[in-house]
Each structure stands twice: as C-alpha cells, then as structure tokens.
Amino acid sequence: MTEIDRERTDALTRPKLAFFGRDVGAAEIRRHLLAWAPAVALVVLCVGFAIGDPQFASTTNLRALASQAAVPLILATGMTFIILQGSIDLSVEGVMGASSLAFALLIHNSRTGLDLGIVALIGGTLLGACFGAANGILVTRLKIPSFMATLGMWSISGGIAMLISGGQPPQIRDMAMRMWALGDIIGVPHLTMVAVIFVAIGYVLQSYTRFGRYSYVVGGSEEIALLSGVAVNRHKILAFTFGGLAAGLAAALESSRLGLGHTEIGADQMFLTLTAVVIGGTSLSGGRGGVIQSAIGVLILTVLANGMIFVGVTPYLQKAVQGLIVLIAVVAATWHLRHRLRVVK
C-alpha cells in the first residue's frame, strides 16, 4: 500500500468526531481514555477479586483462568474480523457442535475404527472453515443479511451435528491427545498456548495484511470500499471462513479436553463471544476495534465468571450480573456518541 492509501485508510478508520466547537486535544485524550477503558476495567476486576479472596491470585487459579480463557480467545479472534466488517456470525454454536462430532469420529474413539490423530484436528478445523465459507457465500452471492444467513447456518450445522451423533456421543480414546489437551508446560496450559498463538496470528492478519486493513474499510463504509475498488466480497468470505475455522479449532480442542464429541459443546458460547468482542471495544456496527481488544474483552468475562465463584455470588444471580456488566460496558463505550444524531442498528 502506498503512503496515500495508508493515510486514506487511517482517515476512514479514525473515529468520526463532531466538527464544531471541539478542542482537538480534549477529543484525542478522550479517545485514548476510551481505548484503554477495557484494560483498566480488567485490572480493576482482578484487583477487586484478589482483595475479595486472595486465593483468586494463586498460581492454581491463574492456571485455571488461563485454561478457561483458551476457547473463548480463539472464538473471539475469529469473530472479530466478521464484526469489524459490520457483519455478524450467529452460527458459532452449531458449527462447534458439528466440528466436535467430526473431530471425535476421526480420532481414536468408541464408535468408529479410525485413528487419525492430528489429522482429525485438521479435519475438524477444516469442517468449521467450510461452514464459515458457506456463510460467506450466502452473504455475498445470495445477498442474504448476515444475521439471517448465519442464523440458518446455526440450525443446519446443529442438525448435522445431531445426525452424526445419533444419540451415542463418541468418546475420545486417544489418550495422548487427551492428556495433551488437559496438560500444561511450565504452568501454562497447552490449550492456552494454542489460543495465544492464534490471537497473535489474528493480530498479524489485522495489522499487516490487506485482508485485515480492508476489513476496517469495509466496516467503516462498505459503499466507499466498493467505490474505491476494494474486493469487498472476497474479504467478506475470508472473514466468515476465518470465523468458522476458529469455531472448528475451538470445538476440536474443547472436545479433546472433555473427552467426547458433543453436539452442545458450543452452548452459550455465541453470547459470550459477542459480549467479549463488544466489551473489548469492537463496535458491532463495524470499522472499529481489533483482535487485542477482543482478547481483553474475553479476559474480562473469564475473570468475572471465575471471580464470582471465588467471591461467592449466588448462582441464581450470576447471569444477571453478567448481563449488567455488558450493559454498563456498552453504555460506557458509546456514551460520547449518544447526543449525536446517529442511527442505532
């Protein structure tokens, strides 16, 4: 990309501020504050819970937190690109179920005679990518809004998962894979390391590839992107495929950890992933945010869920607390925009 292109892209991705009567200095400070708010919130939560129960900060719990964050990190990274482009992917849970079953049936298991080891992992991940690509094609070629297309794909992939499960979930018997998924090295769980590498790959994609930068452009204004000659459709399909790939990988890893192929392995994950992405600062209308922000959002939710157990919040209230935090985060993130005339989707 030339200097001029980069400047143009930066102009498009910078948040739009009011034209009149604003001191640029104050606006810049406010923007930086907002960008750092999720990270500050994370630190506040951690400190708060550690004060509430010092065991929260023990190495055992840090390891538990790392382990609990692994799957959501992978899912949130995949979801980020889709949201950056202004679309949404509701099919995560179904795709995870189907990939989990596919992976479990390919690896050494209680139902089929196959024993494909790492190839099974690749297979499960690729199946997720295929569902993602299907989403992308539905959205770009058939012009179905992403909300509807992925909603339909949720049912389709979930149905396929149920079909191949057939009432007898396959148990994973490949002990090497199982113990790797459950194990850790120098205190860091293996799955967390995979998640961190995946987030790093996501960051590289976002900052150093055309796909990443154009995703911001497409999200900022799809019309301008089209008129500028950006291959919008191709990038959309890529984003959905990446999202599906993330779901497939996450499902295969979680299945290895739990020991079976499970149609409901993605239960609740869609809400949590979207929440994490939004809390982290990636706007649902697109064009703003990023992989690192989503990762911080994931950490906030993981710390919250784990911390509530430590502090002893009654299970009857935990869902309510989670919802409240999401609302507060969204309101805080969009507070500075509320008085402007703006379309709320």
Interface with another protein by CB under 8 A: which residues? 53, 55-56, 58, 60-61, 63-64, 67-68, 161-162, 165-169, 171, 182-183, 254, 257-260, 262-265, 267-268, 305-306, 309-310, 312, 315-316
CA distance 219 to 284: 9
Q: Which is nearer to another protein, 87 or 263 (CB)?
A: 263
Q: Which is nearer to another protein, 37 or 308 (CB)?
A: 308
Smallest gap from residue 100 Cβ to another protein (A): 10
262 neighbors 255 (Cβ within 8 angstroms): yes
Q: Which is nearer to another protein, 55 or 209 (CB)?
A: 55
Smallest gap from residue 161 Cβ to another protein (A): 8
Smallest gap from residue 78 Cβ to another protein (A): 18
Smallest gap from residue 62 Cβ to another protein (A): 8
Smallest gap from residue 267 Cβ to another protein (A): 6
Q: Which is nearer to another protein, 169 or 220 (CB)?
A: 169
Q: Which is nearer to another protein, 2 or 60 (CB)?
A: 60
Smallest gap from residue 111 Cβ to another protein (A): 12
Q: Which is nearer to another protein, 206 or 306 (CB)?
A: 306
Q: Which is nearer to another protein, 284 or 309 (CB)?
A: 309
Smallest gap from residue 77 Cβ to another protein (A): 19
